Amino acid sequence: MASTEMPRTPEPGQANEADARTLAEIRATIDRLDAEMHGHLIERGRAIGTLIKVKGTSRPGAAFRPGREADMMRRLVARHQGALPLWTVEHIWREIITTFTRMQASFDVAYDAGANGDQMRDTARFLFGFTVALHRQPDALSTINHIRESGTDLGLVALEQPASAGAWWRALGRPAGPRIMALSPFIEIAGRPADHPALVIAPELADPTPPDLELFAVTMLGVDPAPVIGAAGGTVLARVHRELMVAVPRGTQLAALSARAGLDDIARVGALSRGIAVGDVAVNPVLYQRLDEAGALK
């Protein structure tokens, strides 16, 4: 015969004691994890100190590694799981990257406030954290000029510009001058804060990591060249009248493409690593890989 005895309910005092023990164990685990994370940061700082002695990375162009940073972000996305938002982890990582990069070569960040200053400031803080000084600039060209004059700083320029900005990208890519080094947001995900489309501008770099895309300023001679550029695996990032900024896969034969598309006055203005798209978000497939594609990069 089945027992009809009801399970005993713990006395209130017993339940409170059990909860208290569980909470104490959880807090002890959190304290241990915090100490371990702090210890790893200290260890990372020592490693950076050794890197500086061995490689001598006091020049900003030698300290910035956009290709390596992109690889780190891809690995981060591939291994992330759990309830913690991915963009929170990204922001923490970027704060760490900025802080340790500035240990190698000091720099500030100028940002273009011409299109939407508040959004661009928030994006700059998301990307570079709070250990770096921000310098507000009235427009894209002023931001580029700040980078050129400083010789050390990074810049953040809005991808979407008013017509009055003109073909601002023509100021990039001159010998030993600033150029585009990264795309923001790098991780595109629904609900992500600081997702204003922007480009990171840098002094001339010494990053040995090959980029995915190369960027060029071009002048169109005839009909719209976008279909031909698209067929070659590229995309038009910006245009003003006949002036275009285009992104094409690294190694694209520019002479052949320019002949087919009717392009002239071609100048390289930078390079990019492709970003990552997570979930159901609309992205330019030239600029972003879907998560299932990116996962193979672990």
Residue 18 has pLDDT above 90, yes or no: no
**pTM for the complete prediction?**
0.86
Residue 205 has pLDDT above 90, yes or no: no
Residues 6 or more apart from 274 whose CB is under 8 A from it? 70, 212, 213, 286, 287, 288, 289
> What is residue 8's predicted lDDT score, i.e. its pLDDT?
60
* pLDDT tens-place string over residues 250-291: 999 999 999 999 999 999 999 999 999 998 899 999 999 988
> What is residue 291's predicted lDDT score, i.e. its pLDDT?
80
* pLDDT tens-place string over residues 97-136: 999 888 888 899 999 999 889 999 999 999 999 989 999 9
The token pair at 63 is 């300290």
Instruction: Say which residue, 162 or 194, is predicted with more confidence.
Output: 162
The token pair at 276 is 């990552």
- What are the boundaries of each domain within the chain? 58-210+281-297, 213-272
What mean pLDDT value characterizes the chain? 89
Residue 87 has pLDDT above 80, yes or no: yes
> What is residue 51's predicted lDDT score, i.e. its pLDDT?
79
Band of the pLDDT at 295, cuts 50, 70, 90? low
Backbone angles phi, psi at 82, to 5 degrees: 95, -175
Band of the pLDDT at 206, cuts 50, 70, 90? confident
Residue 30 and residue 46: Cα distance in Å, rounded? 24
Residue 241 has pLDDT above 50, yes or no: yes
Residue 9 has pLDDT above 80, yes or no: no
> What is residue 297's predicted lDDT score, i.e. its pLDDT?
43
Nearest to 278 by CA among 128, 74, 114, 100: 74
> What is the 3-state secondary structure of 7-29?
CCCCCHHHHHHHHHHHHHHHHHH
What percent of the chain stands above pLDDT 90?
Answer: 69
**What integer is the mean pLDDT of 85-104?**
90
> What is residue 7's predicted lDDT score, i.e. its pLDDT?
57
Band of the pLDDT at 5, cuts 50, 70, 90? low
Please state, as a whole number, how many other Cβ atoms lie within 10 Å of the Cβ of residue 62. Answer: 15
* pLDDT tens-place string over residues 27-62: 999 999 999 999 999 999 898 888 777 776 556 566
CB of 89 closer than 8 Å to CB of 77: no
Using the structure block, give the residue that is written with the tokens 């947001």.
Answer: 185
> Residue 169: how many CA atoms within 13 Å on its side-chain side?
31
Instruction: Say which residue, 91 or 55, is predicted with more confidence.
Output: 91
**What integer is the mean pLDDT of 5-17?**
62
Residue 12 has pLDDT above 60, yes or no: no
